[in-house]
Structure 1
Amino acid sequence: MIELNRRHMLKALVALGGASILNVPAVYAQAENLVITTYGGSWEKFWRDTLVPGFTKETGIEPTLDIGLGRTYMTNLRAAGTENPPYSCLMTNEIYATVLRSEGYFEELDLAKLPNYADLYPVATEASKGWAAVGLISPIGLGYRSDMVSTPPTSWKDLWENPEFKGRIGLYNIKNSAGKMFLMLTSMMYGKGMDDLDTGFEMLKELGPVYQTDFNMSTAMATGEIAIAPFDFGEIARLRNQGLPVDCTIPAEGLMMWDQTFNICKNTPARDAAYQYLDFVLSPVGQDLLMREFFVSPVNKTVTVPEDLARDVPVSGAAMDQFIAWDWDLMNDNAEEISRRWNEIFGA
């Protein structure tokens, strides 16, 4: 009877424009439809044109696609509560997933439903310890203009030690997880560990003026406003394929990365379908599609980067051990103070 009443309520909400009233796609999830997430722009186009049709062809399941950002997904989950998740399988950065996981929004993965999980590189599983899987990895190394740099970088410390970089450095700001990673990296290189933030901030001051951006570093690199910056290898590949003289290196200390963590929402009515979707993303087919579209490093060990993509996807195989593990609890627990201190150095 409770279930029947709930279904009547959902039908009424839909008739009244319930999704807009709730401001979250909870109605779809409650109606036992698979709701998956991605971002806008090229991400949405790829999901709609390629990934979702491939998944539907293999499984017969037609999911609902919700477009947003990590902050939006966090707000919507909290508004809906753990009992009525608006999503079935949530893709977001680990910095958000860490918080939501601690608040009880995700279930521990049932690995029996994820055959491809066993073939993942450790970097795709270690951070969440069985509660999620990283489905996309965008390696971040040091990208640079080869026509503006006489000595290519080999270390993150070159940003401090090579005088030709002075005043021509780009950084992602502290709103971006890459800014937080760079702070932890600096603290680790020059201090007692990545939690030695005092030392990290002192060293950041020594960089001098830098160009900051929330997400788009490519424009400044293309115009020559900067000569070097932490850069997504896939974005360097796109710029290079457009004819720009750019390159990217794996620094000696290791790589940063933008991760896309996939989580199964607790209490989703579409639980089985959510696992089928996640397993498809982690499969050789799913990973090959993602690699070719975004130049991401495949997380499935059985996927081989073909020769024609080797330069654009240089991080695979043994190189997958070079990613640094980050302390997102440290960043989330001290977010306000970290933002304040960063902005005191570089400006908001």
Structure 2
Amino acid sequence: MTELNRRHLIKALAALGGVSALGIPAVQAATRQLIVTTYGGSWEKFWRELMLPAFTQETGVTPQLDVGLGRVYATNIRAAGVDNPPYDCVMTNEIFAGALRAEGYFEKLDLSLVPNYADLYPVATRAADGWGAVGLISPIGIGYRTDMIATPPTSWTELWDNPELMGRLGLYNIANSAGKMFLMLTSQIYGSGLQDIDTGFAKLRELGPVYQTDFNMSTALATGEIAVAPFDFGEIARLRNQGLPVDCVIPAEGLMMWDQTFNIANNAGAREDAYKYLDFVLGPVGQDLLMREFFVSPVNRNVVVPEDLARDVPVSGEAMSQFIDWDWDFMNANAEEIARRWNEIFGA
């Protein structure tokens, strides 16, 4: 761990009552080493240098970290089978987690082993309904270049109605969950609900040509190739802290979000330690560390966004009720048709 990251960890722990708040390490008693998942790049770095050391200090458990992507985890889990899961606690987007849950790969949580579950905002528990919990929420609002847009947008409908935004819009494509959310959002605003995708696609066609990406929207916004897009508040904060003239707003109709749901595998080889890990991630220490590193909105009510982070983490407290509830079962069931129709409008 670098000296900078040590200071980062100590600062986070001090804000929550000091290092002693972590307690005395427990004796690990698992039948195998705990295996948990995360993504690559800055995610892996944070998990190795901050999250896992803090968890080990609190519990005495040293996990093995598997680095990959949600679709890769889903493939590996299905290949291994329910009786021999390759991971114990799986972090992935709800669109993958929901499908795996329905196929029997995750167990319903024993909430007596997750005391921090009781302190979560409803948005962190409603989708999994006791079968998992959202441990990271990256709110997605309308991000824009303040030097290219005269009047800040306040509504998703302005992407259609405001002439200043025409031809300057970026969208995540349909391979990204943000593209799927944008389709459902459009269907809900202009149609009869999230599943009214006929209306949704008709309205999307009205947008005309848009810039598409499956992952990185920041480069296009930074270079001025686009002026407005659905954007992660945390990424806007990073761009703004680098000196770029950008901002992000909470639209009147509500927020999209990138979620990371944490699930316990059925027949987990390190089940007891998996529950310790899940509870730690959902608890004040884990949530504070995640908030400071990624500018995500803490899902635990007991974590207060400090004044120096208020601009970078603007969605907390009462604003946590502004997230839209998505229908991932519907999206998964109609994935091929939805991808085909999206690509007919915007191109692959």
| TM-score > 0.5, shorter chain as reference | yes
2:117 maps to: 117
Regions of 4+ moved over 4 Å: none
2:52 maps to: 52
* CA-CA distance at 1:31 after TM superposition: 6.3
* CA-CA distance at 1:156 after TM superposition: 0.2
**Distance in 1 between residues matched to 2:71 and 2:281, nearest whole Å:** 23
Report the secondary structure of 2:268's partner residue. Answer: coil
* CA-CA distance at 1:43 after TM superposition: 0.1
Matches for 1:264-283 after TM superposition, within 5 Å: 264-283=264-283
Report the secondary structure of 1:311's partner residue. Answer: coil
> Is residue 317 of structure 1 aligned with residue 300 of structure 2?
no
What TM-score do the two structures reach when normalised by structure 1?
A: 0.91
Report the secondary structure of 2:300's partner residue. Answer: coil
Matches for 1:130-141 after TM superposition, within 5 Å: 130-141=130-141
Matches for 1:174-323 after TM superposition, within 5 Å: 174-323=174-323
Report the secondary structure of 2:73's partner residue. Answer: helix
2:61 maps to: 61
1:1-59 Cα offsets, whole Å, 9 max, x none, are xxxxxxxxxxxxxxxxxxxxxxxxxxxxx961100000000000000000000000111
* CA-CA distance at 1:100 after TM superposition: 0.1
1:160-195 Cα offsets, whole Å, 9 max, x none, are 000011110000000000000000000000001111
* CA-CA distance at 1:224 after TM superposition: 0.2
Report the secondary structure of 2:86's partner residue. Answer: coil
What TM-score do the two structures reach when normalised by structure 2?
A: 0.91
**Distance in 1 between residues matched to 2:31 and 2:298, nearest whole Å:** 33
> Could you tell me which amino acid in structure 2 is paired with residue 229 of structure 1?
A
**Distance in 2 between residues matched to 1:167 and 1:341, nearest whole Å:** 21
Report the secondary structure of 1:208's partner residue. Answer: coil
**Distance in 2 between residues matched to 1:137 and 1:229, nearest whole Å:** 18
1:93-116 Cα offsets, whole Å, 9 max, x none, are 000001000000000000000010
Work out the percentage of aligned pairs sharing the same amino acid.
Answer: 76
> Is residue 98 of structure 1 aligned with residue 102 of structure 2?
no
**Distance in 2 between residues matched to 1:298 and 1:163, nearest whole Å:** 36
> Could you tell me which amino acid in structure 1 is paired with residue 306 of structure 2?
P
**Distance in 1 between residues matched to 2:275 and 2:185, nearest whole Å:** 34
Q: 5+ unaligned residues in a row in structure 1: which ranges?
A: 1-29
> Could you tell me which amino acid in structure 2 is paired with residue 125 of structure 1?
T
**Distance in 2 between residues matched to 1:344 and 1:176, nearest whole Å:** 17
Q: 5+ unaligned residues in a row in structure 2: which ranges?
A: 1-29
> Could you tell me which amino acid in structure 2 is paired with residue 221 of structure 1?
L
**Distance in 2 between residues matched to 1:195 and 1:60, nearest whole Å:** 47
**Distance in 2 between residues matched to 1:285 and 1:204, nearest whole Å:** 42
Q: How many residues align?
A: 319
